[in-house]
Amino acid sequence: MSTEQKKGHVVAFAFPFGSHPTPLLHLVQRLAAAAPGVNFSYFNTAESNQKVLPTADLKSYDNIKAYDVEDGAPKGYVFSGNPLERIELFVKSTPDNFRRRLEEVVGETGLKASCLLTDAFLWFSVDMAAELGIPWVAFWTAGPAPISLHMYTDVIHSRLGQNGAAQNQDQTLDFLPGLSAIHASDLPHELLHLDQPFSRLLYDMSLALPRATAVVLNSFAGIDPDVETDLKSKLKKILNVGPSPPPPGIDQDGCLSWLSSHAAASIAYISFGTMLTPPPPELLALAEALEEKQIPYLWSFRDDSKRQLLQRFFEKTESVGKVVEWAPQTRILAHPSVGVFVTHCGWNSVVESIMGGVPMICRPFFGDQMINRRRVQDVWWIGVGVEGGVFTKSGMMTALDVVMSGGEGKKMRENIGRLRECASRAVAENGSSTENFESLVDIVTSSSHQ
């Protein structure tokens, strides 16, 4: 079917930082395959598109086109190194950058937008969609607990005091449905301090989400039942369509055959997602603990500025360790030789670890990561946080003992097994995520006939 003959035009707006753009693109690909009669446009900054598109094999889809939008950085701008700077410049350039590009694309193709499917952070889409008379479908790339916390920002502020800064950081949020395990200290900075542009964006998002036609999550029914029930009362439609893992990555460094030469559940897989490397003293502590415990490891490590620090460790442990710049993570976590995942608790990593049946050692840094650690450690019992919240040699050795050799590790694997079954039921034929995905296809397709 040629572009002209297709009905409808779903326009996806990405938030171009961290792991946000990739899951949205995968969702677009799933939808484009399920609705071949609809055109899909994927808007993202040039810099992010350059990273994301080469891994996506868009050539196989004749109904997806990707476009660049401006990132808000003035020409020749020199960044200070603070990651928030890029975000703030980008946020300032919204919504005009998306609006302009959309007008150009509609002008070029003659295809009016029939549905906006955007990262939930890009809350201005609700007004843009209303102006165009089309639905706004918001895609939330994290888990149910963090979205619920954002919906309760005002309540949290009023209960925890000025800027949500509770006197007692151990105070739990037992006044919120399903969130009693969360401590004040787990709350992300941007939820507590609303004076920053990025915090404001998230607050505005929490006000806009109840107006969304649907909110889509890469999660599954049953993982956080009380939170899900409460969210249903606040949003028009909540669609868990996961777990929907990314396409299996290419194993260019032979990680899988390396894993296959090791005993079951013997390897520590270490990765801190797309944005993070722990600070130098923590990297050294983690390395010393692995060496002392003689745990073979596979480490996804790309930070050249910190590589020198670990060079001696990498050389000394060459016979038991493997270091790669990028690992095919979902395939690694599904490999029986992996015994523990040392993670920053990004949502995708947590879900992938559950699907792989691997317990976690958690060292969260920011955003939703502390919330995810709390769920892993105190609600689902499928991992442990590192003692004191940062890597120390002794804390890491204790965590490795707990997860890899103790009876607790066995219990964690059983608990993960139950969550994994729940996830597998959700994505099976007639499962809740499968049915939710069909509802999403309906929303996208029926809006295309307007």
Residues near ligand UDP (CB under 6 A): 18-19, 246, 249, 271, 273-275, 300, 326-327, 329-330, 346-349, 352
Q: State in angstroms the smallest separation of the CB of 142 from ligand UDP.
A: 8
Which residues is 69 bridged to in the sheet? 45
Contacts of 258 by beta carbon, 8 Å cutoff, 6+ apart: 298, 322
Q: State in angstroms the smallest separation of the CB of 191 from ligand UDP.
A: 17
Contacts of 162 by beta carbon, 8 Å cutoff, 6+ apart: none
**φ/ψ of residue 342, rounded to 5:** -90, 110
Looking at the Cβ atoms of 114 and 330, the one nearer to ligand UDP is 330
Is 119 tagged catalytic?
Answer: yes
Looking at the Cβ atoms of 173 and 327, the one nearer to ligand UDP is 327
Interatomic CA distance for residues 338 and 354, integer angstroms: 13
Nearest residue to ligand UDP by CB is 346
Looking at the Cβ atoms of 114 and 349, the one nearer to ligand UDP is 349
Q: State in angstroms the smallest separation of the CB of 350 from ligand UDP.
A: 7
Q: Record the tokens describing residue 144, joined without a space.
A: 């149910």
Catalytic residue (choose from 20, 150, 335, 344): 20
Cα angle for residues 205, 228, 423 (degrees, 5° grid): 115
Q: State in angstroms the smallest separation of the CB of 179 from ligand UDP.
A: 20
Interatomic CA distance for residues 267 and 347, integer angstroms: 22
Contact between 208 and 254 under an 8 Å Cβ cutoff? The reply is: no
Q: State in angstroms the smallest separation of the CB of 323 from ligand UDP.
A: 11
Q: State in angstroms the smallest separation of the CB of 9 from ligand UDP.
A: 28
Looking at the Cβ atoms of 67 and 326, the one nearer to ligand UDP is 326
Looking at the Cβ atoms of 98 and 347, the one nearer to ligand UDP is 347
Q: Between β-strands 321-324 and 238-240, what pairing exists: parallel, antiparallel or unpaired?
A: unpaired
Looking at the Cβ atoms of 19 and 93, the one nearer to ligand UDP is 19
Contact between 150 and 206 under an 8 Å Cβ cutoff? The reply is: yes
Is 186 tagged catalytic?
Answer: no
Contacts of 376 by beta carbon, 8 Å cutoff, 6+ apart: 345, 350, 360, 362, 382, 383, 385
Contact between 310 and 232 under an 8 Å Cβ cutoff? The reply is: no
The string of DSSP letters for 276-342 reads ----HHHHHHHHHHHHHHT--EEEE---HHHHHHHHHHHHHTTTTEEEESS--HHHHHTSTTEEEEE
Looking at the Cβ atoms of 351 and 400, the one nearer to ligand UDP is 351
Give the number of other CB atoms < 10 A from CB of residue 281: 12
Contact between 416 and 358 under an 8 Å Cβ cutoff? The reply is: yes
Q: State in angstroms the smallest separation of the CB of 440 from ligand UDP.
A: 20
Catalytic residue (choose from 62, 71, 119, 230): 119
Q: Which residues are catalytic?
A: 20, 119
